[in-house]
Structure 1
Amino acid sequence: MKVDTHKVVTISYTMSDEQGSVLDSSDENGNLPYIHGTEFLAPGIEASLEGKSIGDTVDEHISADKAFGTYSDDLVFTINKKDINIDDTDLKKGLEFEAEVRGEIRYCLIEDVQEDKVVINANHPLAGVNIHFQAEVLAIRDATAEELDHGHVHDEHGHHHDH
């Protein structure tokens, strides 16, 4: 079986920047199961795994535009505090949250809190970073209908969360 659309693929991986600093790895977070072809992974990462078999390895340098996108100044903006749906006591620099930005759900970071305004950055934290991606394919199986319907991998015991 090969890595292809709608296959559940489990990988061990290390992702680092151009200087060799580890950004993320299965050593820290455990092996990663995902449904291939659902845009769970960055496009360049997913493309590097396409067609691989169990035991195959990947060692790719992936440009920022194919990884987590280029940095866009247009995704840094200032809004009035009253227009953000977060309690004033929770509004602080460094707070991460999800919000709809230009029609898509994005992770956002509060970069600054002023008297009546908040500066928000909706760029991916790794936007603009070229990455070195190393991985080994550990397992491949067909995704279940339930997994495809929900858009994520379920553990061997089935479904254990609310939607």
Structure 2
Amino acid sequence: MSAARHVVLPSPIGELTVVAVDGAITHLLMDAAKYRPADHEVLGAPASPDEEPFATAAHQLGAYFAGELRDFALPLAPRGDDFHQRVWALLRDIPYGETRTYGDLARALGDRNLAQAVGTANGRNPIAIVVPCHRVIGSDGSLVGYAGGLERKRFLLALEEPPAGDAGRLF
């Protein structure tokens, strides 16, 4: 396996650090995320923002924040155990502009009693925004449990809010 490389990108919610190994993104970290690993554990050497997959990530993140991109198409390689991988796969299936509860995800995994474990896996998501953990809410519709901070979660959900008159909102 090659060594990790990273770039730091500006965004409306603060700096985002994109880390990749062998051309696949392993982390997309917010500057003040609750579960951000120590930089020496994941970052590796700085890369040029013109290198792949960083150039594509920068382009797609820019389009997302401009309201022009709903679905990311990036090579991803999040690191986690089998349960975490299953939860993160479910997160990627939550459509833009929609939300799910921790209980919804637990039921999708076949056991409604897994809601707390789903919450832990959601909070440990290493690829924020692209793997949309911000789309998971409490069972009462409240905005709970976002490692990037609730203000960022509010911002991201508002960014994805459909125009007035669209039906199907879950929060």
How does the TM-score come out when normalised to structure 1? Answer: 0.24
> Which has the larger share of helix?
2
More strand by share: 1
Larger Rg computed on CA atoms = 1
**TM-score computed with the length of structure 2 as normaliser:** 0.23
